[in-house]
């Protein structure tokens, strides 16, 4: 099954209500061709897979058991933290992630302290965190970071040169003569990591008296991240459709980028500024900032009613 949590009214998700049978919950971040998801299905788990590639999601949808596996098209680290309660995941698997070898990209690696804290918070006590990679240095750094964090201990470390599961990259690296490094970590200590999103989801909107103000396209840096705003589309019914890319960065190594469309349309009290009906996004703090930004500009500051607060920081860079 394909899950779209952006439209839910409350977070984290109730996974017991999503799966028809109550089984241990296993999560894979970056499932590729979906072969490992099938392996997890065979061990009797309810499986959740995260992937940022639409093509991979489409391929996996053809091979999974839709009663046992749920797929999400979104960043797995963000999804793990926002969609799961603490101590709710029985096992976490990361297969052949991008190693990000350059030092300047070190924060993007998946075994940095902020990400390890998220894993430890969502895993049940004594659960396993498993990594497979073809890069020895990545495996060793992951072990070192995990042990130094005090959150995980090394349970197993093996090296092989044959295909076991048949994932895309496993087959590719073995065919090139590379070794596969498998790291199994066990949760040693719990740490609490709060959700970034509010548990109760509100629909951000504003009512303005008029919409004749000037909307300034460009890049805005707010308290919560970045907003890239484009020129609006308009029609003869005094309606505007405004495209933007909104990035929320919560400063612990996890960010979320979303393409957002805001509509401005006539309302009995003037004009309403809200998410377009086809804009299926998480209502993050920076999405709320976008609503305020547009309402403030098109109304020349004459906002009649709004259910979000302005960002405490706002910097503008013209397009």
Cβ atoms of 249 and 227 within 8 Å: the answer is no
pLDDT for position 238 = 62
Average pLDDT over residues 25-48: 93
| H helices, E strands: number in the chain | 8, 16
- The two tokens of residue 175 are 């065919």
Average pLDDT over residues 246-271: 85
pLDDT for position 83 = 95
Q: What is the pLDDT of residues 182-223, one digit of tens each?
A: 999 999 999 999 888 877 778 899 999 888 888 999 999 998
Cβ atoms of 314 and 221 within 8 Å: the answer is yes
pLDDT for position 252 = 62
**In terms of Cα–Cα distance, which of 187, 179, 178 is closest to 154?**
187
Question: What does the DSSP 8-state code read for residue 65?
Answer: -
pLDDT for position 219 = 96
Average pLDDT over residues 229-255: 82
Long-range contacts made by residues 14-19, C-beta under 8 angstroms, separation at least 24?
A: 15/46, 15/48, 15/84, 15/88, 18/70, 19/46, 19/67, 19/68, 19/70
d(CA 72, CA 310): 31
Q: What is the pLDDT of residues 142-168, one digit of tens each?
A: 999 999 999 999 999 999 887 777 677
Cβ atoms of 50 and 84 within 8 Å: the answer is no
Average pLDDT over residues 292-307: 93
Average pLDDT over residues 101-120: 91
pLDDT for position 277 = 85
Question: What does the DSSP 8-state code read for residue 101?
Answer: -
pLDDT for position 299 = 93
pLDDT for position 128 = 97
Neighbouring CB atoms inside 10 A of 164's CB total: 13
Q: How many residues does the chain have?
A: 319
Does residue 251 carry a pLDDT above 60?
A: no
Which range among 85-94, 279-288, 297-306 has the greatest average pLDDT?
Answer: 85-94
d(CA 208, CA 266): 10
Q: Determine what percent of the chain is predicted with pLDDT higher than 90.
A: 67
d(CA 174, CA 196): 39
**Which residue did the predictor score with more confidence, 26 or 240?**
26
């Amino acid at each position: 099954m394909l899950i779209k949590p952006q439209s839910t009214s409350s977070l984290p998700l109730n996974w017991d209500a999503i799966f028809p049978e109550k089984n241990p919950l296993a999560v894979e971040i970056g499932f590729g061709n979906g072969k490992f998801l099938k392996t997890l299905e065979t061990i009797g788990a309810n499986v959740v897979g995260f992937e940022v590639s639409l093509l991979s999601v489409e391929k996996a949808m053809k091979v999974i058991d839709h009663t046992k596996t749920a797929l999400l098209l979104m960043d797995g680290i963000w999804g793990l933290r926002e969609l799961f309660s603490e101590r709710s995941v029985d096992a976490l698997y990361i297969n052949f992630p991008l190693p990000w070898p350059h030092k300047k990209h070190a924060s993007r690696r998946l075994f940095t302290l902020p990400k390890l804290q998220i894993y430890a918070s969502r895993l049940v006590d004594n659960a396993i965190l498993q990594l497979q990679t073809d890069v020895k240095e990545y495996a060793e750094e992951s072990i070192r970071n995990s042990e130094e964090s005090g959150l995980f201990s090394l349970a197993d470390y093996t090296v092989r040169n044959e295909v076991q599961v048949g994932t895309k990259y496993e087959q590719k690296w073995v065919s090139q003569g590379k070794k596969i490094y498998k790291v199994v970590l066990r949760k040693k200590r719990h740490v609490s990591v709060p959700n970034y999103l509010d548990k109760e989801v509100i629909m951000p909107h504003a009512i303005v008296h008029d919409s004749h103000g000037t909307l300034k396209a460009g890049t805005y840096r707010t308290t919560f991240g970045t907003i890239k705003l484009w020129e609006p589309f308009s029609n003869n019914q005094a309606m505007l459709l405004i495209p933007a890319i909104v990035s929320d960065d919560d400063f612990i190594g996890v960010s979320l980028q979303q393409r957002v469309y805001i509509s401005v349309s006539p309302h009995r009290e003037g004009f309403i500024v809200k998410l377009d009906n086809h804009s299926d996004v998480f209502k993050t703090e920076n999405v709320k900032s976008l609503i305020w930004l547009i309402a403030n500009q098109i109304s020349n500051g004459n906002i009649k009613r709004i259910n979000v607060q302005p960002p405490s920081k706002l910097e503008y860079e013209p397009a």
